[in-house]
Amino acid sequence: MRIVRFASPQGMSFGVLDGDGQVAQIEGHPFGQISFTGARFAQADIRLLSPILPSKVVCVGKNYADHVAEMNTGDAPKEPLLFLKPSTSVIGPGDAIRIPPGSTNVHHEVELAVVIGARGARNVSPEQAMASVFGYTIGNDVTERDMQKSDGQWTRAKGFDSFCPIGPWIETDLPALGMDPADLAISCSVDGEQRQSGRTSQLIFGLSTLISYISQVMTLLPGDIVLTGTPAGVGPIRPGQSVECTIDGLGTLTNTVVAADAVSTAGGAR
């Protein structure tokens, strides 16, 4: 089942994307028993949003050996290397990645995104971990490399608004499509030129290990996202370009790139 979140003239809703390209609206959130409202929309009449609004995005660094090698920052970690992206970094398909003023070294990082389900995950074993998964989508762990290097920790480099594109939908049953989340082709292209290509079978730490490990540190809530790492081939993006992240069974997440405008919420002088 393909779960989407969308904006229509009636507001924001969750829905199920049918094989005919229509979106069937559902009541409330998609966790638990799904109930349809009876409303249906053509994709041309709605705007797809990020398919979920997570309380947090938990990311895993250096989880592909070829990416560890290309970054030339030491050996692969002995345990999963965790960091967080704020919820304010999340954007959806078609939204623009906004390059901060003065930045010239912002990179794309395509990643398999795991969406946590209704039961959440706290202190689960690797054997229990996959029962906590609601589904899968595509993520792009956009990173400002110069800040990542200079800061010594990654919050600023990876936490800018728009630095976590997610979408286009959540696939809740990959096995029904004949696909195994532990062995999916994953790639990223910029302006049609392929830069990244790998398979999730190349992850140093697999999905059940990651979910279990994270759940020993923090409670994963329904809708939280786990970004599992990126293969080699990361590179700079600049305003005017288009980034396409593709994973087997999950479609393609496309985002344009623009220069950020420094609009303040403070308003004028009082």
- Do 39 and 15 form a contact (C-beta atoms < 8 A)? no
Please name the residues in contact with 116: beta carbons below 8 A apart, sequence gap of 6 or more.
Answer: 132, 133, 134, 211, 220, 221, 222, 223, 224, 225, 226
Res 269 pLDDT > 60: no
Res 199 pLDDT > 80: yes
Q: What is the pLDDT of residues 90-119, one digit of tens each?
A: 999 999 999 999 999 999 999 999 999 999
The pLDDT > 90 percentage for the chain reads 87
Q: What is the pLDDT of residues 216-231, one digit of tens each?
A: 999 999 999 999 999 9
Q: How far apart are CA 20 and CA 42, in angstroms?
A: 9
E strand or H helix that includes residue 116: strand 110-116
Per-residue pLDDT, 21: 86
- Do 119 and 131 form a contact (C-beta atoms < 8 A)? yes
Q: What is the pLDDT of residues 166-180, one digit of tens each?
A: 999 999 999 999 999
Q: How far apart are CA 61 and CA 168, in angstroms?
A: 23
- Output the average pLDDT for the chain: 95
Domains delineated in the chain:
2-49 (2.30.30.370), 57-259 (3.90.850.10)
Confidence of residue 76 (pLDDT cuts 50, 70, 90): confident
Per-residue pLDDT, 74: 74
Confidence of residue 32 (pLDDT cuts 50, 70, 90): confident
Per-residue pLDDT, 263: 78
The pLDDT > 70 percentage for the chain reads 99
Residue 104, Cα to own-chain centre: how many angstroms?
23
- Do 110 and 230 form a contact (C-beta atoms < 8 A)? yes
Span 39-57, average pLDDT: 96
DSSP 120: -
Confidence of residue 268 (pLDDT cuts 50, 70, 90): low
R_g of the chain computed on alpha carbons: 18
Span 42-60, average pLDDT: 96
Span 59-87, average pLDDT: 90
User: Tokens 């994270």 appear where?
Assistant: 214
Q: How far apart are CA 17 and CA 112, in angstroms?
A: 20
Which pair of tokens denotes residue 126?
A: 């690797």
Confidence of residue 19 (pLDDT cuts 50, 70, 90): confident
pTM of the predicted structure, to 2 decimals: 0.95
Highest mean pLDDT among 10-19, 61-70, 197-206: 197-206
Burial of residue 178 (number of CB atoms within 10 Å: 0-12, 13-18, 19+): exposed
Per-residue pLDDT, 201: 96
